[in-house]
Amino acid sequence: MPASREVVFVDGVRTPFGKSGPKGLYAETRADDLVVRVIRELMRRNPAIPPQRVDEVAIAATTQIGDQGLTIGRSAAVLAGLPKSVPGYAIDRMCAGAMTAVTNVAGGISFGAYDLAIAGGVEHMGRHPMGEGVDPNPRFLSERLVDGSALIMGMTAENLHDRYPSITKERADAYAVASQEKAAKAYADGRIQRDLVPTATRKAAEGWGLATVDEPPRPGTTLEGLRTLKTPFRAHGRVTAGNAAGLNDGATGCVVAAEEVAAELGLTPRMRLVSYAFAGVDPEVMGIGPIPSTERALRLAGLTIDDIGLFEINEAFAVQVLAFLEHFGIADDDPRVNPWGGAIAFGHPLASSGVRLMTQLSRHFADHPDVRYGITTMCVGMGMGGTVIWENLA
């Protein structure tokens, strides 16, 4: 048996995220073409990687039909011009798809089955709305395995508000405003643009375009403006379009490798994988998923929450982030948490978001050489959470 090897994160990129729908950036752009753009950019930015040394391409998508089907890791690898000898596959763990793509290939690298791999995710929620084509087993409701609200993410967020009465709508709105403000500042400071790959778009009525920045952010969002928004999931509820991530299109990808292989190829890795964990929770309160997954990942790493110097937590809903922070005794405005804002501003194209978190964490590490450990974590539909702990190599 081979000895287990250290796994490092070398580089990550993403397309700008678009708004889903007929007016969105990618309304008439194929999902697999977004993945191709990401793979090609990773290879362009890392010319020291011989294409034949890519041992696997793992790409996640939640709705695996149409242009997100056909074993998208393999089909996108071929379309991107990688050698036909490079295999690939598709993954579905809903929102944690790209995160799972990374942990899957990391396990293979640690075991010795791979030396270097590309992992990422894509979601075109405009072409493939969440739940398109699915047929939930009637036993879920007839045998009361889950409450009906478990299948509607916004309702699970309202349920989480019920469980945490201290997390008011005002707190959730304030968190959302801060996310937008941090994202706007990160853009103004040129932080976000480094990891965006300009992506061609085409619409029959408008011709060719070029996506260079994220479409979802709403700079200038105010508490007063958020107070007036409707609560679509419950009358007099607390979840609105303003304190939740939107419906988005986009793709992400990264290069992960064995530490000694990165050294052999002359690559400069940004962070090392320490531990990871996934956990299940009641689907009705999906948003608490990051709490048990983080507790498990910390336990596996022999660390405590006090050892973590930076957090990238996916903002599917403000209440879900606030529940995590409340559980671990972290302030709503702690500067270690989502320093550049999060999905409430940037968007959350389901299966792609995990690698956005990792890419941004790796940038924070470079800016904070004093920080040793950071985490990427997210809630997952159907009642799960995922957490990966990373060590700073800066």
pLDDT band at 2, cuts 50/70/90? Answer: low
Q: Collapsing DSSP states into helix, strand and coil, what is residue 369? A: coil
pLDDT digit string, tens, across residues 29-55: 999 999 999 999 999 999 999 999 999
pLDDT, position 362: 98
- Distance separating alpha carbons of residues 274 and 81, to the nearest angstrom: 32
Cα–Cα–Cα angle for 284, 280, 347, nearest 5°?
70
161 in active site: no
pLDDT, position 1: 57
Whether residue 356 contacts residue 315, with contact meaning beta carbons closer than 8 Å, is answered with: no
Report the phi/psi class of residue 52: left, alpha or beta, with left for phi > 0 and alpha for psi in -120 to 50.
Answer: alpha
Contacts of 23 (CB under 8 A, 6+ apart): none
Statement: residue 3 has pLDDT above 80: no
Buried b (16+ CB within 10 A) or exposed e, 221-249: beeeebeeeebebbeebbbbbbbbbbbbb
**Catalytic residue from among 95, 124, 161, 364:** 95
**Catalytic residue from among 124, 128, 161, 348:** 348
User: What is 7-126+246-389's CATH superfamily?
Assistant: Thiolase/Chalcone synthase (3.40.47.10)
Query: Encoding tokens for residue 376?
Result: 């990427």
379 in active site: yes
- Distance separating alpha carbons of residues 249 and 378, to the nearest angstrom: 18
Q: How far is CA 360 from CA 11, 12, 326, 364, in A?
A: 10, 9, 23, 6
- Distance separating alpha carbons of residues 176 and 346, to the nearest angstrom: 11
pLDDT digit string, tens, across residues 98-156: 999 999 999 999 999 999 999 999 999 999 998 899 999 999 989 999 998 888 999 99
Query: Encoding tokens for residue 159?
Result: 């349920």
Contacts of 202 (CB under 8 A, 6+ apart): 28, 29, 208, 209
Average pLDDT over residues 189-195: 97
Radius of gyration of the CA atoms of the chain, in A: 20
348 in active site: yes
pLDDT band at 278, cuts 50/70/90? Answer: very high
- The candidate with the shortest Cα–Cα distance to 99, out of 297, 393, 390, 387, is 387
Whether residue 82 contacts residue 149, with contact meaning beta carbons closer than 8 Å, is answered with: no
- The candidate with the shortest Cα–Cα distance to 347, out of 221, 220, 245, 240, is 245
Percent of the chain's residues with pLDDT above 70: 99
pLDDT, position 185: 98
Q: How far is CA 68 from CA 6, 89, 193, 246, in A?
A: 32, 12, 26, 20
Say how many C-beta atoms besides its own lie within 10 A of residue 34's C-beta: 32
Contacts of 245 (CB under 8 A, 6+ apart): 314, 315, 316, 317, 343, 344, 347, 348
**Catalytic residue from among 161, 254, 364, 379:** 379
CB-count burial class (<10 Å; 0-12, 13-18, 19+) for 32: buried
- Distance separating alpha carbons of residues 239 and 89, to the nearest angstrom: 36
pTM, entire model: 0.97
Average pLDDT over residues 144-169: 94
Helical axes 318-328 vs 290-301, angle rounded to 10°: 40
Average pLDDT over residues 254-279: 98
Contacts of 237 (CB under 8 A, 6+ apart): 158, 161, 231
pLDDT band at 214, cuts 50/70/90? Answer: very high
pLDDT, position 148: 87
